[in-house]
Structure 1
Amino acid sequence: MTKLLELAGAATLIISLIFIGYEIRLANRIALVETEWEMFNSYAAYNEMAIEQPKLFAERPISEYTETEIASKRSQFFRTLNIWLAAETAYSNGMISEATYLITLADAQALITTQKESGTVILWQSILDRYPFLGDKEIIKLIAKELDG
């Protein structure tokens, strides 16, 4: 009888461990979905800013910008930089898919190209100079390469 109880206890323990493993996998999947969701919400907020302030997103030569518009342009870059860095961190930790990360890099490249054409990309250098410790980040390398090129 004791052996039977020990076997039942061992079986219960194994079933409990399997259930805990399942719960952990499920929690990880939920975290992945939530992270992707938050990334897309960040992009949605950015797009709302473009809808609400289209003048800020209409590229023109930097010489035509007022000081207020330049400050807004810097804020726009801070916002995009935060999104891009969050995407890189999430991707390197396996929290977003490669597709989402590649979308982020493509968006970054497109924005950099557009701002290079207008000359507003020069505003980015002073911002990047404040954060030399981010130099190992892929998105920072991409931006630095474009600023140098």
Structure 2
Amino acid sequence: MSTVLLVLHVLAAVLAVGPVTVAASAFPPSLRRAAATAAEDGGDGLGPARALHRISRVYSWVGISVPALGIATAVSMGVLGDAWVLASLTLTAVAAGVLVTRVLPGQQEALELAGRGDGSGGTGPVPAGTLRALGMSTGAFSLLWTVVVVLMIVRPGSTTGA
């Protein structure tokens, strides 16, 4: 049973957290391109940024399965109390917090600012500070997940870890 849970946990991480991480990272440049495109042709160009926000939002809900399956796997393997598991769970909670309190609201705010425009159908200005803060939050989210992946592979203190 541990093997099945582990496979499901890893698949959920790849198929849920991966898309959120990529979409969230691609969002700020997509919004910058939309503004540049709107300046050239007058369209709003926000379709790709809206799609990336939707991917981030929907896959973040699917991502809830990752820690749930991880906990079930840790319980079945008898390692739930190990330091690397507890550290991973803590970092996962912090990453989820960054996603829910910074990344997703930041994307929504940026889309709202860009969608206002000047009434001519173009893309409105998004302050550079807003995009910079969003990029930093997204980078923190990605870094936290990278550390979790390293902990899952290395498993410090385990008999099979490096």
TM-score strictly above 0.5: no
Hey, which of these two has a bigger chunk of helix by percent?
1
TM-score if structure 1 supplies the norm length?
Answer: 0.42
Bigger Cα Rg: 1
Structure-2-length-normalised TM-score: 0.39
